Amino acid sequence: MNVRKPSERRAGGMNDVRILVISAGAVYGALAILMGVLPGTALSRARPGPGVVPFSAQAQRGRDVYVAEGCAYCHTQNVRPLAQDHVYGRPSTAGDYAYSTPELLGDHRNGPDLTNIGARQPSDVWQEIHLYEPRALVSESIMPAYTWLFIPRTARLPATSWCIFRRDMHRSAKSSSRDQRRWTLSLISKN
């Protein structure tokens, strides 16, 4: 009888590092395809939903700022079909993201969902004050102030391009109250 000592036995099964590494790689690859590639491909082929139109140049600039400032780290842009999300509007569908590539859905909410923020909070002045000094409007806000968005950005944009605030202030002045305009101007003068 030819019996080998334990030290002479060939490694096999889970003792073989090659099998372990190849198995882990295959599981990882399969999960990446199932959870990342296939849903992304399905979203990319989605037809636009009702009222969904391609981004205007101004909306695309706003989206670029949203990405550059990392807003998606704290805000979502997808309304879930849950009772607590009813305040944000109807649940999101794939067609809502037809022109949004990559999709900026977000993965958790430190701040509110921003899907329909223009309809829920239509005041331009409120939006501008909230970006300039969030705690002036929402005392418990953990959002940082984005004061640099209100400075002319001639170094990064053409000389005729002014900050978001100055461009929108004139447009929203007709619809906002005199007190809101005074508040906004006082915020600018503090900086």
pLDDT in tens, the chain (191 residues): 566 665 555 556 667 888 889 999 999 999 999 998 888 787 778 889 888 899 899 889 888 988 889 888 888 888 888 898 888 888 888 888 888 877 777 777 888 888 888 888 878 888 889 899 999 988 999 999 998 888 875 544 444 443 444 444 444 444 444 554 554 444 444 43
Cα-Cα-Cα-Cα torsion 31, 33, 39, 40, nearest 10 degrees, comes to 130
Burial of 97 per CB tally in 10 Å (0-12, 13-18, 19+): buried
Residue 94: what pLDDT?
A: 82
| Residue 117 DSSP label | H
Query: What does the pLDDT look like over 103-153, one tens digit per residue?
Result: 777 777 888 888 888 888 878 888 889 899 999 988 999 999 998 888 875
Residue 163: what pLDDT?
A: 43
Q: Are 171 and 113 in contact (CB under 8 A)?
A: no
